[in-house]
Structure formats: C-alpha cells, structure tokens
Amino acid sequence: MTFHDHFSAQAPAYGRARPHYPDELLAHLARLAPARDLAIDVATGNGQAAVGLARHFDQVLAGDASATQLAAAVTHPRVQYVCLRAESLPIGRAVADLVTAAQAAHWFELDRFYAEVRRVLRPGGVVALWTYGMLAVDPACDRVLRNFYRARVGRHWPPQRRYVEEGYRTLPFPFAALSAPTFELAAEYTLEELVDYVGTWSAVARCRQLEGVDPLPELARDLLPVWRGASHRTVRWPLHLLIGQAVPI
C-alpha cells in the first residue's frame, strides 16, 4: 500500500490550528457503543479526536501512518499512540467498541479498511466517519476564502477531496447505518490563526511543493480589508457524519 503523506510537513500547525471536535459528538458515539472499554481512532493526526474520546472510553488506541504527526500528539493517560495504517490494525479480533476516522476516511483504501473494521469490532460495535467542509465566517470573508480554495489552490487538491466536498454522501459505507444528529465545529480565531488553519490544507502543501511559493501571504492580504479590525471572529464548519454497525448491509 502507498501512503500519500499530505500532512507531516505541517504537523505543528495541524495540532495548533485545526479545530477540536465537539464533545457532544463524542458523547453521542459513546452512547451508541456496546461498551466503553476500547475505542480506536485511525489517522489520528495529533490526537484531536482521540483525546476527546478518552473522556468517554477506558482506553483509546490512536494510530497514524505519520510518525511526525504522532510526535506532536497531545498526551493523555488513556490514549496509546501507535504508528500504523488504518488498513492494518495491530489488534485482535472483536475487541473494540468503536472505530473512528475524523477528516481522514477519504484517504484510505476503503475495502481494506472496512475489512479491518469488521474484524476488530465486537458484536454491536460502531464505526463512525466524519468530515467537515468549507469554513464560514461572514459573506465578505467567505468570498475571499472560496476564491482562494477554488481559484488559487484548487488545482492542487487531490482527487479524494471530492468526498469531502460531497459531505461523504458518496463515500462507500457498507454498514448498517445509524441515524446521525447534526453537529458543527466552531472556533474563535484571529486573522493570523485563520490563515494558520488554511496552511494545514493539503492543497496548500502541494502548492508550496509544486509551485515553490507559499500562497498564504496572498490570502492574508486579501482577508485583511474584510476582517474589519476585529480581534477574534467565530469560524464554523459543517460536520458530516456516517455512523454504522459492523453488520454488512
């Protein structure tokens, strides 16, 4: 299997700038799980979801294929970090209550990943995949951000990005679906923090690599007039969620 590493180069910014997942989401998943002994978070990055899950589960196995991301992960006494691929989990059969992948499943070799999910989940175990799309601030800022997303770095998005843009509606999901409430991410960002977040996009990394240019100063310049001198602004992301049980449909 080939690991396309889009995020190691910006691992410190990823942990600093990416939004945290709402506890209401993680608590909902814990209620659905048959027990709260073990949750597995794959493609954990810096552990944003894993640390949140540790508030609800006795143990969290958090894995990522990037050792650089794991080196920047947030430590927690109930979270064990392991360098691993989502398609090959170093754990026995029917031992996990929950498997999660936050903003990551569109990168996986899905057939192999789903086979592993079925193998490691205990009866009644739950799998949850989620993604968040384009952020929103206000109409003026949103126009600048959409133009940057599409016109400036749009050609650098990997093809898997379409699953995110489609809100995971077209992502194959061969499990018995469970209803998913509506959740959103929200954060209070300064202009600098917002630009820092955009710097974690895979398309920005590819732009730097292929063009030899950092596009973020252009974005900061274009956002400054519409930021209107505010210190912090509320930034929101719609969150799209797939939840299922390990019985194939």
- In this structure, what CATH number is given to the domain that contains residue 167? 3.40.50.150
Domain total of the chain: 1
Quick: pLDDT tens for 172-224: 999 999 988 899 999 999 999 999 999 999 999 999 999 999 999 999 999 99
CB-based burial, 222-232: b 16+ in 10 Å, e otherwise: bbeebbeeeee
**Reported pTM:** 0.89
Q: Has residue 60 been placed in a domain?
A: yes
Give the CA-trace dihedral at 153, 158, 163, 164, to 10 degrees.
Answer: -40
**3: in domain:** no
Q: Residue 1 falls within a domain, yes or no? A: no
Residue 57 domain flag: yes
Q: Is residue 141 part of a domain?
A: yes
17 part of a folded domain? yes
What are the C-alpha distances in Å from 20 to residues 78, 185, 239?
A: 18, 7, 12
**Cα separation of 20 and 48, whole Å?**
6
* 127: containing domain: 8-245
Question: Looking at the domain assignment, is residue 2 inside a domain?
Answer: no
Q: Could you tell me if residue 75 is inside a domain?
A: yes
- 105-125: pLDDT as tens digits: 999 999 999 999 999 999 999
